[in-house]
């Protein structure tokens, strides 16, 4: 079974912010497969999950622990469902990438992302795939926390749906064909039009 976890912050005030693109991707995957997100079993506190059964079972999840403690829920999910690190894909926002760009990696450091840092700490490894979604840096004079907790600009809104759909395509490709295929298809310099 593959596990796709989109990181974000719960609550209406965060719903459409840059920090929540991971949640948006999970919502898109759930919608495509007719899945309903519901509370995880009691052994996995603080997460919404949905599971697709069949020949290629898939689990999608949204931790409700807030970004900086995402690893609590991610580690609990991997333990409860017996998910190996290589079968986990963590989807996060990335300010170092321009809006709309995707970058997949099979492993790596947190790169300054507190959600990934929490996952690495709680999982005890950096050896898990991640998909970074470019949300841009915006005005360098603006506080970074304010930027990621802000909504997308008016000129970004028209492309947001296509961006999330493309990220969901990449996450589904991971589930079906693995992270190497995603990197070869979506990373800059591959077939990514950006």
Residue-wise pLDDT for 95-112, tens only, equals: 999 999 999 999 999 999
Structure confidence at residue 193 (pLDDT): 41
User: What are the residues whose beta carbons fall under 8 Å from the beta carbon of 97, sequence distance 6 or more?
Assistant: 103, 132, 133, 134, 135, 136
Task: Identify the H or E element spanning 167.
Answer: helix 157-177
Residue 174, in any domain of the structure: yes
Please, which pLDDT band fits residue 147 given cuts at 50, 70 and 90? confident
At 29, list the tokens. Answer: 């995957």
Has residue 12 been placed in a domain?
Answer: yes
Total structural domains within the chain: 1
Catalytic residues: 19
Q: Supply the pLDDT for residue 132.
A: 97
Domain contains 193: no
Predicted model pTM: 0.94
pLDDT band at 192 (very low <50, low <70, confident <90, very high): very low
Say what percent of the chain tops pLDDT 70. 96
DSSP string, 6-50: E----SGGGTTBGGGHHHHHHHHHHHHTT---EEPPTTS-SEEEE
Query: Rounded to whole angstroms, how far apart are CA atoms 88 and 83?
Result: 7
Helix (H, G, I), strand (E, B) or coil at 96: coil
* Across 102-106, 121-125, 154-158, least confident range: 154-158
Report the pLDDT value the prediction gives residue 118, as an integer from 0 to 100: 97
Find the domain containing 105 and state its range: 2-186
| Residue 45 predicted with pLDDT over 80 | no
Q: d(Cα 71, Cα 8) in Å, to the nearest integer?
A: 12
55: in domain: yes
**CATH code of 106's domain:** 3.40.50.1470
């Amino acid at each position: 079974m593959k596990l796709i976890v989109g990181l974000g912050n719960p609550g209406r005030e965060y719903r459409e912010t840059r920090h929540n693109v991971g949640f948006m991707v999970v919502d898109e995957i759930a919608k495509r497969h007719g899945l309903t997100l519901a509370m995880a079993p009691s052994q996995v506190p603080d997460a919404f999950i949905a599971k697709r059964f069949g020949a290629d079972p898939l689990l999608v999840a949204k931790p409700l622990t807030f970004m900086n403690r995402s690893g609590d829920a991610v580690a609990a999910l991997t333990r409860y469902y017996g998910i190996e690190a290589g079968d986990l894909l963590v989807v996060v926002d990335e300010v170092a990438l321009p809006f709309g760009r995707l970058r997949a990696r099979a492993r790596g450091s947190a790169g300054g992302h507190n959600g990934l840092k929490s996952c690495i700490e709680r999982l005890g490894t950096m050896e898990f795939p991640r998909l970074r979604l470019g949300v841009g840096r915006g005005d360098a004079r603006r506080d970074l926390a304010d930027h990621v907790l802000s909504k997308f600009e008016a000129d970004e809104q028209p492309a947001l749906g296509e961006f999330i759909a493309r990220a969901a395509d990449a996450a589904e490709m991971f589930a079906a064909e693995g992270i190497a295929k995603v990197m070869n298809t979506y990373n800059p310099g591959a077939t990514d039009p950006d």
